[in-house]
Amino acid sequence: MANSKKTKQFTITLENRPGTLAEVARTLGNAKVNILALLGTAQGTSGAVELVVEDTRRAKKALDEAKVTYTETNAEEHELPNKPGALAECLERLASRGINLNSICATVSKGGKKAVVVYRSEAAQQKVVPAA
């Protein structure tokens, strides 16, 4: 697929209370880690956030120092034209290759010419890194 690259995704389980995601964002921000994509969900007393960052090495160091437990997973990032049907075409190509998605998020800036899709598939390797 054109304009695609492998990336790492961090999944962090958080307590579902005001400020927990802000704490993670501040930890990464203080370490000069730029967050490129984020998907968060909550149910009951806990939630999870999936992050793709610009500098995975620096992110891991910051999360480790803050004693944040995370799972590091391989993911794919695709750049698509920002037009109707582009996402459907991308997903159809993945499906035709037998790729089943475990998570996906997409974003585009208003008026932007390109959209970015980040997904994790069933075959992606996971590495759990416990809080120190």
**Structural domains in the chain, sorted by start:** 4-129 (3.30.2130.10)
Q: What is the mean pLDDT of the chain?
A: 88
Tens digit of each residue's pLDDT (9 = 90 or more) over 36-49: 889 999 999 999 99
pLDDT at 78: 87
pLDDT at 52: 93
Q: How many CB atoms lie within 10 A of CB 58?
A: 15
Q: What is the pTM (predicted TM-score) of this model? A: 0.80
Three-class DSSP category at 94: helix
Evaluate whether 68 touches 110 at the Cβ level (below 8 Å): no
Tens digit of each residue's pLDDT (9 = 90 or more) over 68-117: 999 999 999 989 999 999 999 999 999 999 999 988 988 887 777 877 78
